[in-house]
């Protein structure tokens, strides 16, 4: 807590006035990060384009936001890497992302929407984590979604 207070340029008792311990600080940061990532995802999904374009835009928004957040803080990478073991905030975000991709696919007439959503999201995670630049994320995710989702859409 001392290091956090020093970095925030506040007195340690002031920090304790807001957070009882380091885990509470960690939880608040995770909630804030997941909120920003969720907003970027939802914004991409909100378009009126074809289902695969909406899904790709949402995933790109999610991972570009993650990339921006990771570059903005020396500790954000650690927070993100630990998200699976540490946070209801990220668990809720991932549940929301999967549910929304599944919904868009089901609305488009995809028969096995949930398994396809899970496959798309897992593959996108791998692609985005391996990207060496932010500029690679958009084109790679769009190709991925087009190839996996396009053939599953009725009438295509």
Taking only the tens of pLDDT, the chain with its 156 residues reads 787 778 778 888 887 888 888 778 777 877 888 889 999 999 999 988 999 999 999 999 999 988 887 776 666 566 556 655 556 667 888 999 999 999 999 999 999 999 999 999 999 999 988 888 889 999 999 999 999 999 999 987
d(CA 51, CA 116): 13
d(CA 94, CA 92): 5
Q: CA 148: distance to chain centroid? A: 20
Inside any domain, residue 35: yes
* Positive or negative: CA dihedral 79, 84, 88, 91: positive
Inside any domain, residue 5: no
Taking a C-beta distance cutoff of 8 angstroms, is the pair 43, 61 a contact? yes
Inside any domain, residue 15: no
Inside any domain, residue 21: no
Q: Residue 37's domain is classified under what CATH number?
A: 1.10.357
d(CA 150, CA 154): 9
Q: Which domain holds residue 40?
A: 29-152
d(CA 133, CA 67): 9
* Number of folded domains that form the chain: 1
Inside any domain, residue 114: yes
Inside any domain, residue 10: no
Inside any domain, residue 57: yes
Inside any domain, residue 44: yes
């Amino acid at each position: 807590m001392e290091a956090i207070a020093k970095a925030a340029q506040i007195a340690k008792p002031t920090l304790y006035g807001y957070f009882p311990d380091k885990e509470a600080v960690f939880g608040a940061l995770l909630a804030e990060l997941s909120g920003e990532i969720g907003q970027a995802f939802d914004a991409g999904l909100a378009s009126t384009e074809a289902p695969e374009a909406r899904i790709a835009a949402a995933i790109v928004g999610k991972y570009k936001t993650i990339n921006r957040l990771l570059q903005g803080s020396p500790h954000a990478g650690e927070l993100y890497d630990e998200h699976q073991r540490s946070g209801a905030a990220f668990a809720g975000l991932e549940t929301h992302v999967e549910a929304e991709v599944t919904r868009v696919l089901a609305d488009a007439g995809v028969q096995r929407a949930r398994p396809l959503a899970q496959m798309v999201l897992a593959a996108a995670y791998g692609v985005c984590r391996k990207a060496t630049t932010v500029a690679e994320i958009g084109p790679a995710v769009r190709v991925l979604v087009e190839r996996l989702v396009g053939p599953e859409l009725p009438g295509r």
